[in-house]
Every structure is written in C-alpha cells, then in structure tokens.
Chain A
Amino acid sequence: AQSVAQPEDQVNVAEGNPLTVKCTYSVSGNPYLFWYVQYPNRGLQFLLKYITGDNLVKGSYGFEAEFNKSQTSFHLKKPSALVSDSALYFCAVRDSGTNAGKSTFGDGTTLTVKP
C-alpha cells in the first residue's frame, strides 16, 4: 500500500520569505513523487517530480523539492515567496511499478502568501 501525508492544512508566509510545504510518503517499492498546484476553480497543474537521480529537483515557477529517502520526505520549497504563489498544493506518490493514475494524493496544503 502507498500513502502520503501533508501534515499542515495551511501555511502562511510573508512575500519575499522562503516557504516550505511538507510531504512525507510511504511506498513498498521505489517512489515516484510529484507536486501539483491548484488555483481556484482550476484543475491541478504539474510543478515537479522526482523519479531518480539528484535528490534536489527543480520545477516550474522557481519551486524545488528535496527527496530524502531516510526521512521518506519530499518537501516543496521556494527561496522567495510571491503573492501569486497562493494556492492549494498537493503532494502525490506512487510505487514505480504501478499505473500513473494510481498515484495517491495528499489532502492538500493551502499556501497563503501575504504582501
């Protein structure tokens, strides 16, 4: 079985400050890890993914995430937050041997960046 946890329902940061959105996961095999962002009344949009290789993954809009196998974490980060980053963020995981659509999504973290 696979699972993913986003321990924070809400993250608030000031514009210009660094941000972190946390994600931990559990899979029986090798993980494929993803971050998606959802703006109001829109579908999810892909931000970045970890498949293999470098633990630090860079994605869209200046976001990056660090894969930590020992801590089974894949936290999303950005050095300097923008008000336009305010949205709902989902972490997703799946075992590398399973169908892409069988990814398990976290419950989501609402990021609010205040001016």
Chain B
Amino acid sequence: NAGVTQTPKFQVLKTGQSMTLQCAQDMNHNSMYWYRQDPGMGLRLIYYSASEGTTDKGEVPNGYNVSRLNKREFSLRLESAAPSQTSVYFCASGSRPLGGEKLFFGSGTQLSVL
C-alpha cells in the first residue's frame, strides 16, 4: 500500500529556475494538501484542494501554483525559484475535508535553491 507518493525526493535549483513537485495518493481521498517545513517553524500550509477541481490558498501561497490533475494527483509548481523557497515540502491527503479525520503524509521533497 503506497499511500502518498512524492517525487522527487531531492532537488537543487538555481535562482529563477522552475520545477514541479508531484504528489499522488492511492487511498481515494478527496482532499490533498501541500505544506512546507522549515526548522523551528512547524508545517505551514501552502495550498490545498478540498476536492477534485478545486484549489485554495493556504497560509504561504506566494511564489507557488498548484494543479489538482485528478482525484489522485496534486502538483506544486515553482515558476521562478528563490532562495527563500529552500525547504522540505510535504504533500498530504485526507478522506474528508471536514470532520476529524487524520492526514496522511508523503515522505517529503528536500529542495535547495541556490
């Protein structure tokens, strides 16, 4: 059972380059999320998708775009990477946007922007 799969696991970019982080879940979950994790700052929500066809901004959306390609896949794009976007990125999914369900997380993408 794969759960939530993120690719790539590691990436180094130069300032101004673009890239897309991929995320797929095989649990038939409706909601999917992108977080970034920075030392001493916990997890901060970048964007989320409560259901297929919808996306909404989270706490720190600037510099990012997302696409909910279908129910399984939710990608995060950096159009012009900046050093401030150096972070560890986590994708997560949940069965119901509302309610007490837990989140399932991928193993993360470690991104360095030079």
Known: A90-B42, A101-B31, A107-B40. A51 touches B107 (CB 8 A): no
Flag whether A115 is at the interface (Cβ < 8 A): no
Q: Are A44 and B42 in contact (CB under 8 A)?
A: no
Asked if A99 meets B107 with Cβ closer than 8 Å, knowing A43-B90, A106-B42, A107-B42, the reply is no
Query: Is B61 in the interface zone, CB < 8 Å from A?
Result: no
Q: Which residues of A contact B105 (CB under 8 A)?
A: 36, 43-45
Task: Please indicate the chain A residues that have their CB under 8 angstroms from the CB of B106 in the complex.
Answer: 43
Tell me, in angstroms, the Cα distance from A103 to B58 when the chains sit together.
10
**Given A101-B31, A107-B40, A108-B42, does the pair A34, B102 have CB atoms closer than 8 Å?**
yes
A43 and B108 alpha carbons, distance in the complex (Å): 6
How many residues from A make CB contacts under 8 Å with B? 25
Q: How large is the interface on B (under 10, 10 to 19, 20 to 34, 35 or more residues)?
A: 20 to 34
The answer to whether B48 touches A49 (Cβ under 8 A) is no
B2 at the interface (CB under 8 A from A): no
Write the nearest CB–CB distance from A95 to chain B, whole angstroms: 10
Contacts of B33 in A (CB 8 A): 101
Q: Which parts of B23-81 form the interface with A (CB within 8 Å)?
A: 31-33, 40-45, 48, 50, 58
Is residue A69 within 8 Å, beta carbon to beta carbon, of the partner chain?
A: no
Contacts of A41 on B, CB cut-off 8 Å?
A: 107-108
Do A44 and B90 have beta carbons less than 8 Å apart? yes
CB within 8 Å for A42 and B45 given contacts A100-B101, A100-B103: no
Q: How far is the CB of B89 from chain A (nearest CB, A)?
A: 10
Chain A: which residue is nearest B49 at the CB level?
Answer: A101
Query: Are A99 and B31 in touch, CB under 8 angstroms?
Result: yes
Q: Which of B4, B42, B44, B102 contacts A46 (CB 8 A)?
A: B102
